[in-house]
A and B are shown apart, each in its own frame.
Chain A
Amino acid sequence: MATLAPVHDPRARGGRGLMPAIPELEACIHCGLCLNHCPTYRVTHLEAESPRGRIYLVDAAAQGRLDLTKSVADHLYLCLMCRACETACPSGVQYGRIAEAAREVLGPPGPPLTRMMVRLALRHLMPHPRRLRAMAALMRLFQRSGLARLAARVLPGTLGRRLALMPVASPRFYAPEAEVLPAIGERRARVAFLTGCAMSMFFSEINEATVRVLRRNGCEVVIPSGQICCGALNVHNGEADSARAMARRNIDAFPEDVDAVVVNAAGCGAAMKEYGHLLARDPLYGSRAQHFASRVRDVSEFLAALGMRTQSRPLSQAVTYQDPCHLAHGQRVRAEPRALLAAVGVQLTEMAGSDRCCGSAGIYNVLQPEMAETLLREKMEAIRETRAGVVVAPNPGCMIQLRYGAQRFGVPVQIVHLLDLLDEAGA
């Protein structure tokens, strides 16, 4: 049973607020085995940029020995939230929960202007599908009109470069033909599908492929129109209250009479699997959230369990696999995507450090461009060494980051989603 100290007003102690002494802090016994698994520790070699160090800071704050100053916030926000440390930890410390609790107290990252913009985006854009659609339309306009290209040439340095490599908005924001799409052939399951923000904006064709593959495998697919953004970015960036509101909306929007809630974006799947924890103290939604969370599945998990009907379509190029952090570490799903690839005849060349973060990490690559760039460079080198022509990375953030990386570091490689390959293989 958690006994939490009350969270005071952020300005009460002169710093960013008071950290409650959450029970998850007790599990860390300082063994340090997490250090060398943490991407930011590996780059900086600083204890304060390691999981153990960050836990120590949060713990010291909870004991009242340390004020949550900007300096502390910087250490905590340099963290990618990749949770590789959770995979490494022999004690089962739930680092993600500790970091999220600390970020809830700290609020969004960055200097005041950035904080304000992030807060604005997280509270007033992400929870609203229509506004997202409008923004997508604007992006398409910006990109197709040639303004984007012009801006990229004119703007200086990193900004210009990133603008040039901004992900291309899909021609159409994802919109399913109907709310309920029947199975093709014998019906084996009924699932709900989360369409997702990044997927809908940048990869709507992958959503279409996902639905196709599900239907071809005997799934009736329900795509509730009332669903909204899963709230992952909100939780990770200190906007826990708005995240809770979004979770409640989704729990209401998704039907209960489905075998699973299927997700094709690792970050969203991980976030929704934790709705139970997010709404643990909610008197109304607490147990519903638990129940909802227990039915969330990554599409690869679901298809692997269902048993995919496929045919083998071997690819001519060498293929490697990037484990998205929130799939491998956040959900412990590693074997299933590989099994599905093998089932369609793909022979994988494993990359060294396939489960090490590429630096995307939600909006991290925008807020911490230097660290993200360093990690991306290492990742592209690892990809280069596999001599693969194709990288499978089943998460939109990773795909955007790796595509940018391929261009930025000159690695001739195609980045695809798992469902792209399964769809092509006729699965």
Chain B
Amino acid sequence: MDRDDLIRRLRAVVGNPYVLHRPDDLIVYEQDALMVARHKPDLVVLPDTTQQVSDVVRLAREAGLPIVARGAGTGLSGGAIPEAGGVVVALTRMTRLVELDLISRIAVVEPGMVNADLTAMLVPHGLFYAPDPGSQVASTIGGNVANNSGGPHCLAYGVTSNNVLGLEVVLADGTVAWVGGRAHDAPGYDLTGVLVGSEGTFAIVTKVVVRLVARREAVRTLLAIYDKMDVACEAVSAVIASGVVPEALEILDGITMRAVNQTLHAGFPEDAEAALLIEVEGLSESVPVLMERIEGICRAQGARRLQTAATAEERFSLWKGRKHAYGALGKLGRRAMMLDVCAPRSRLPEIMRRVLEAGRRWNIGVANFFHAGDGNLHPTPFFDFGDDSPEYARVIGLAEDIMRACVELGGTITGEHGIGLEKREYLGWMFTDADIAAMKQVKQVFDPAGVLNPDKIFPTGRAVHVVSRGADAPA
């Protein structure tokens, strides 16, 4: 089948406007939020139903082209970059709420539904969808499933895989299959569990059954301001050790807060080295008591000042400020590379010390904003030189030092962003050859021909392609 033939047949499935083939239409799909690699797809298709997805997959297979599913393209590890070309299947048109069971607190949604839109729809019903990654105003549920996305409120409610009960997927040969269901635990192998976080390499998700959480009666949000980062980290341990499990427990460093302050009045201080952002929820009488206890702990651990959000707007501003952290770094440097390491929480002060040391050693500014309660850090180096500069090796050195430190302390090289292509060469730092072989066996089951999102997750022996701002990417 030649290209024109394929285009014609794809158009018959999804309609003319939704088969993209012109250079300007394709070029905008060559990257997601990872800026150091890019590759144009051969075609981009935007289906609107499960049947269309299935037909598109079959046609792509017939044409011998790889298939890369894409949501909003906000992934930070290059999971949606079509490094081997092929057909990008963008699920952004599939945004329907298919079913809502308020009593069982379950919803069935299409994969292109924007995370924050789902929660917004549930507000009148006193429910919400708990995993709230920083990208939630743009990222889609399908993308969240692919990466097992987290977010600040995962401390209390778990990550995406704890909040997904079932999936409808299109397999590599176009077959449509349901896994899991509406009950909290389905018998048989936990295919839902293994599909979540499979980064588009097992199947294309076309429906998601999500668990919804009831909003608690009362919520309090506290910003505890510290003069030293390691003191703030110790405070985190103290809060958790006291037996309280907050809904969210984040840390922002001074660099981040000052950067955010430049674009947003979030209520962050200008002159602190670190701040804890803590949220507790519960019944209206217990919450203030809980909050007082936390405030006491924070003070005992040396907080310079405590700031409680007095209104819903203030609370919203604090969280908006937190979620703007990555983007705000655009003001500090032309580029930023957000790492995503996760270590056992008890090692938090130690890992932070090593992060700051690494920054000093490689002489690169590093901003930190992270899910301290989970031990999930986002050290984010920011810099002005381009990725074609010899200086860029320093950023890689820094990133490797930090990842290595985390693995040494029993942690992981990626807490929630996924391996994608960004970290595939490092998979061996966490898993033995036997472990990886077992993973490949499971991959073989789902995708024997290796057409779904090839060259992601597993090491290829090739460096991630570094793109320079002036030159063209190789074909």
A-to-B contact residues, CB < 8 Å: 26-37, 45-48, 53, 56-57, 60, 63, 65-66, 69, 71-72, 75, 88-93
Contacts of A27 in B (CB 8 A): 330-331
Q: Known pairs A71-B22, A71-B25. 9 more at Cβ < 8 A?
A: A28-B330, A36-B138, A56-B28, A60-B27, A90-B325, A91-B329, A92-B263, A92-B328, A92-B331
* A90 with B324: CB separation less than 8 A: yes
* B114 with A36: CB separation less than 8 A: yes
What is the CB-to-nearest-CB distance from A26 to chain B, in angstroms, rounded to a whole number? Answer: 5
Number of A-B contacts (CB under 8 A): 112
* B24 with A57: CB separation less than 8 A: yes
What is the CB-to-nearest-CB distance from A348 to chain B, in angstroms, rounded to a whole number? Answer: 16
B410 at the A interface (CB under 8 A) = no
> Chain B interface mostly helix, strand, loop or mixed?
loop
CB contacts under 8 Å to A, within B66-98, are 72-74, 90, 92-93, 95
Bound together, the chains give a CA A124 to CA B330 distance in angstroms of 41
Contacts of B72 in A (CB 8 A): 32, 35-36
B-to-A contact residues, CB < 8 Å: 20, 22-25, 27-29, 31-35, 46, 72-74, 90, 92-93, 95, 112, 114, 116-117, 135, 137-139, 260, 262-264, 323-331, 334-336, 469-470, 472
Bound together, the chains give a CA A30 to CA B328 distance in angstroms of 12
Bound together, the chains give a CA A197 to CA B99 distance in angstroms of 50
Contact for B93 among A45, A48, A72, A93, CB less than 8 A: A45
Contact for A69 among B24, B29, B139, B330, CB less than 8 A: B24
Given A32-B135, A63-B469: A56 and B327 within 8 A (CB)? no
Contact for A90 among B27, B46, B330, CB less than 8 A: B330
* A29 with B35: CB separation less than 8 A: yes
Contacts of B335 in A (CB 8 A): 29
Q: Taking CB as reference atom, which chain B residue is nearest A50?
A: B28
Bound together, the chains give a CA A47 to CA B73 distance in angstroms of 9
Contacts of B32 in A (CB 8 A): 30, 32
Q: Taking CB as reference atom, which chain B residue is nearest A32?
A: B74
Contacts of B73 in A (CB 8 A): 32, 47
* A90 with B327: CB separation less than 8 A: yes
* A33 with B28: CB separation less than 8 A: no
Contacts of B20 in A (CB 8 A): 46, 48
* B330 with A47: CB separation less than 8 A: no
Contacts of A75 in B (CB 8 A): 24
* A30 with B263: CB separation less than 8 A: no
Contacts of B323 in A (CB 8 A): 90
* A71 with B137: CB separation less than 8 A: no
Given A36-B138, A92-B331: A48 and B28 within 8 A (CB)? yes
Bound together, the chains give a CA A244 to CA B301 distance in angstroms of 59
* A47 with B28: CB separation less than 8 A: yes
What is the CB-to-nearest-CB distance from A196 to chain B, in angstroms, rounded to a whole number? Answer: 31
Contacts of B34 in A (CB 8 A): 30
Bound together, the chains give a CA A90 to CA B322 distance in angstroms of 10
Given A32-B138, A33-B137, A46-B46: A92 and B330 within 8 A (CB)? yes
Contacts of B28 in A (CB 8 A): 47-48, 53, 56-57
Contacts of A56 in B (CB 8 A): 27-28, 31
Residue picked from A37, A65, A71, most chain B C-beta under 10 Å: A65
Residue picked from A30, A37, A47, A56, most chain B C-beta under 10 Å: A47
Bound together, the chains give a CA A60 to CA B31 distance in angstroms of 12
Bound together, the chains give a CA A91 to CA B92 distance in angstroms of 24
Bound together, the chains give a CA A91 to CA B333 distance in angstroms of 10
